[in-house]
Amino acid sequence: MLDLLELLARRGQDMSHTDIGEALDIPKSSLTQLLRNLTARGYLDYSAISRGYRLGEAVAKLAGKANQGRSILSIVEPILSDITAAINESSAFNQLRGFESEVVATVSSSQRLVSHMRKGDLAPLYATSGGKALLAFMPEEDQERYLETVKFEPITSNTIRSVKELRRQLKAVRETGVASVNEEFTPGIVGLAMPILSSGGTALGALNVAVPAVRFNDVARERILKALNDALVRINRSLSERVGA
């Protein structure tokens, strides 16, 4: 598939089924199915006039999302430092990688007892606060596909075990804008997260704070939520300024 997309990008013009097959040495039957799938998903457009294929709008959207992700990261990284400085707990920025949550940036607390979230760490969406925030605001079609295929691993005794419970929690996240876990991924660690939303209401990423359960109480919760909310206000303001620039 990547060879096909790269070929069309290099040529910069419509290519017929035959031309593509000869250039990539792909059997006709296999190429037909590949072209059909990519066209149906918007990665290719077919012209009845030229009887050829070109890159579709979905490729541009994918590139736009990648650029947006990098743009958001440059805004978020210094704000993470401010979150951790304000509450002295570890914070992180998470984004989707397939159907998992990836730690894209993180700042650790200076306290002796601390949760370390490492850049590049992957986790199931159902087991972390950042993952639940991403999942709750995932496009509906993608979310349903996830819920239909997810297999729950009992990571801890508190890990969610059913789609019914996950649906209930995701509904609450959409209503409140806050996702949480209580020792569901790491024993002894409580997490709170808020999503960074696009203008269309889908999650561009999620901010989360991880705190040892022994330090978590109602006062700590309110301090964390205030820090996250203040951070979101700053991030959304910066994103709006970049769009308007």
Q: Are residues 104 and 26 in the same domain?
A: no
- Output the CA–CA distances (angstroms, integers) from residue 113 to 54, 92, 135, 177, 211, in the order listed: 55, 17, 29, 28, 9
Please indicate, yes or no, whether residues 9 and 129 belong to a single structural domain of this protein. no
Distance CA 212, CA 194 (A): 19
The reported pLDDT for the residue numbered 57 is 81
Q: What is the CATH number of the domain that holds 237?
A: 3.30.450.40
Give residue 223's pLDDT: 97
> What's 15's DSSP letter?
B
Domain count, the chain: 2
Same domain, 128 and 204: yes
Cβ–Cβ under 8 Å, residues 86 and 62: no
CATH (domain of 24)? 1.10.10.10
Min mean pLDDT across 17-21, 80-84, 124-128, 221-225 is at 17-21
Residues 6+ apart with CB under 8 A from 111: 88, 89
For residues 128 and 181, membership in a common domain is answered with: yes
Query: How far apart are the C-alpha atoms of 134 and 140, rounded to whole Å?
Result: 12
pTM of the model: 0.73
> Cα–Cα distance between 37 and 196 in angstroms, integer?
31
Do residue 92 and residue 135 come from a single domain? yes
- In the listed set 38, 55, 72, which residue is the last one of a domain according to the structure? 55
Q: What is the pLDDT of residue 63?
A: 54
Residues 68 and 181 in one domain: yes
Co-location of 39 and 69 in the same domain = no
Residues 73 and 31 reside in one and the same domain? no
* pLDDT band for position 4 (cuts 50, 70, 90): confident
Share of the chain above pLDDT 90, in %: 64
Residue at which a domain ends, from 55, 74, 96: 55
Backbone region of residue 88 per phi and psi (left: phi > 0; alpha: psi in -120 to 50; beta: other values):
left
What DSSP character marks residue 50?
A: T
Across 73-121, where does the E strand assignment appear?
Answer: 90-97, 100-107
> Containing domain of residue 45, as a range?
2-55
Q: What six digits make up the tokens of 43?
A: 């990665």
Same domain, 34 and 147: no
Looking at the structure, do residues 65 and 16 belong to the same domain, yes or no? no
What is the C-alpha to C-alpha distance for residues 189 and 210, in angstroms, rounded to an integer? 6
Same domain, 76 and 35: no
φ/ψ of residue 207, rounded to 5: -95, 135
| Domain match, 112 and 98 both | yes
CA distance 95 to 195: 10
pLDDT tens-digit series, residues 104-132: 999 999 999 988 899 999 999 999 999 99
Query: Is residue 99 over pLDDT 70?
Result: yes
Q: Is 190 helix (H, G, I), strand (E, B) or coil?
A: strand
pLDDT of residue 143: 95
- The pLDDT confidence band at residue 94, using thresholds 50, 70 and 90, is very high
| pLDDT band at 41; cut points 50, 70, 90 | confident
- Check residue 243 and give its pLDDT: 55
Asked whether residue 25 carries a pLDDT value surpassing 60, the answer given is yes
